Structure 1
Amino acid sequence: MPISILFLILSIHIFSKKLTLNKEKHMAKNTPSIVTKQDIWHTLSKVNVNNHTEKVGKFTYLSWTWAIDTLMAHYPNSSWKFLEDLEHSNTKEVRVELTIEGNTYFMWLAVMNYQNKAVPNPVATDVANARMRCLTKAIAVAGLGFYIYQGEDVPKNSEENKKTTGVQSTSTVLLQKSKDTDSQSPQLDVSKAVIPFGKMKGKTYGEVITTPEELTKSIKYWESHWKTHKAKEDALLHLGNLKRLRDSQIVQGVA
């Protein structure tokens, strides 16, 4: 074979290899990095929220407009949707799903007044306010302002963690610091909750769900099937408990 042809073949091979390498570099450069709940927590939990709270009665609230603005400043692709409200006698519970970088947080909140008591026969404005407070609570579970739940005045990793600002250590979203609310929060005790229906009825979630994989599988199943289940309300409650269990594990560093 003539040398000129061999040289041509070699040149084509080298050129083809360069094209492949350039393509791989381009794909790697444009592939978005995966952001985990741990990453989100690491970012948001460092933010000091004390200058954006308001004391109303015995409770301290985090401004929902500021919370959303701060969330979007860090994660502009965040989104949320309000789920079907649940009726409890003459009171109501609102629910929200917050998605940050593909990570979903589920949160719930009773429609309450400024005394932290359920509002009987709530009107539209009561529900609207509760939804925004519920969204703020979901953002707190993602990390923003969660340190106040833990009875601290500033984030552990903040540069101001040795200073005090006078903000009382009460929940930014209507969870009281007292034992009957903070220490017994369903967020933390959901593993002890009893499964409301089905083959595992009567057992606790902690007994049945033993691995993160089982929990994820159960959540995906009930997200697709709760609407068509004959016990729709129980199925929705079950899905909510599963998601609460998942979020509590994230907060406690289990998953």
Structure 2
Amino acid sequence: MTELNNAPVNEQENNFTKLAKINVNGHTEKKGRFTYLSWTFAVSEAMKVDPLTNWVFREPTIFSDGTMMVHCDVTMFGKSIYMFLPVMNNSNKAIVKPNAFDINSAMMRCLVKGIAAHGLGLYIYAGEDLPEEEKQSIPAQSQNQNTASSAQATKTQKPKRTQAQLYNDALAAIKEAPNTEILNAAMKRFKGTTYEAGITNACRARADMMGWKPNPTTTKNVVQQNNQMHS
């Protein structure tokens, strides 16, 4: 599969890469089935790397069923990224007629989501456990580890996400990808799997929407995959 062409590497892309490598796992909180990054940590890290970081909350959108959507623009390194988030409970269900606490929680989560779009903790939204850089640095487990230790490690290990769950997470990340790095990472991760065609099509759609130009062979690959699916 061919990767999308990026514009010449600039300072903003370098900043994104640096932020994306930060392991934020020690500053997350599990609520229900979902993991949330502390907004105080996210803001602190953002201000450290760019003291001019700022954010603005837009007027919430109230829908006819009583649910609400909050909106936030986060500016870092001179670039503003817009994010939105429904006011939800810990099961990710929209709350009907949310109270002030619900709205405040959603606004802070939307702020964190906006900061994540600049790189910090973005891997959480893609269903990953660690940044790609750190995963590669973890040494392989020793082969002579005794059976008892292995069994204990298995008990304490967090349940592994299924390929289907990772696929759905990747689609969500692609839908809101701020640059082609996320698209390329998704295509690389699912290359050779049954989800490759779906990921490729999603990446193409996002690239077309944002005006990012793919390599000429990318379109050919998508067509070939679609033909194989219908042959």
Pairwise TM-score range, normalised by the shorter structure = 0.5 to 0.7
Aligned to 2:144: none
**Aligned mate of 1:46, from 21, 32, 35:** 21
From the CA coordinates, give the structure whose radius of gyration is larger.
Answer: 1
Q: Does 1:101 align with 2:77?
A: yes
Q: Does 1:55 align with 2:30?
A: yes
**Aligned mate of 2:174, from 182, 188, 204:** 188
Aligned to 2:59: 84
Amino acid in structure 1 at the alignment position of 2:108: M
User: Per-residue displacement from partner, 1:217-240 (whole Å, max 9, x unpaired)?
Assistant: xxxxxxxxxxxxxxxxxxxxxxxx
Please state how far the C-alpha of 1:149 moved relative to its aligned partner. 2.8
User: Per-residue displacement from partner, 1:124-171 (whole Å, max 9, x unpaired)?
Assistant: 22111100000101111111111223333221223874279956788x
Please state how far the C-alpha of 1:37 moved relative to its aligned partner. 3.1
What SS does the corresponding residue of 1:37 show, helix, strand or coil?
helix
Amino acid in structure 1 at the alignment position of 2:38: S
Q: Which has the higher contact order (CA 8 A, sep 6+)?
A: 2
| Contact 1:154/1:160 (8 A) holds in 2 | no
What SS does the corresponding residue of 2:84 show, helix, strand or coil?
strand
Stretches of structure 2 lacking an aligned partner (at least 5 in a row): 1-9, 142-155, 178-204, 214-231
Aligned to 1:211: 211
Amino acid in structure 1 at the alignment position of 2:169: D
Aligned to 2:118: 142
Show the 5 A alignment for 1:1-255: 36-89=11-64, 90-158=66-134, 161-162=137-138, 178=165, 182-185=169-172, 188-189=174-175, 211=211
Distance 1:126 1:169, change over 3 A: farther
Aligned to 2:186: none
| Contact 1:81/1:96 (8 A) holds in 2 | yes
Please state how far the C-alpha of 1:208 moved relative to its aligned partner. 7.6
What SS does the corresponding residue of 2:132 show, helix, strand or coil?
coil
Amino acid in structure 1 at the alignment position of 2:47: M
- CA RMSD across the alignment: 3.4
Pairs aligned (count): 160
Please state how far the C-alpha of 1:211 moved relative to its aligned partner. 3.2
- For residues 190 and 143 of structure 1, the distance between their equivalents in structure 2, rounded to whole angstroms, comes to 12
Identity %: 37
| Contact 1:149/1:169 (8 A) holds in 2 | no
- For residues 55 and 210 of structure 2, the distance between their equivalents in structure 1, rounded to whole angstroms, comes to 29
Aligned to 2:225: none
What SS does the corresponding residue of 1:94 show, helix, strand or coil?
strand
User: TM-score with structure 2 length normalisation?
Assistant: 0.59
Aligned to 1:9: none
- For residues 93 and 64 of structure 1, the distance between their equivalents in structure 2, rounded to whole angstroms, comes to 18
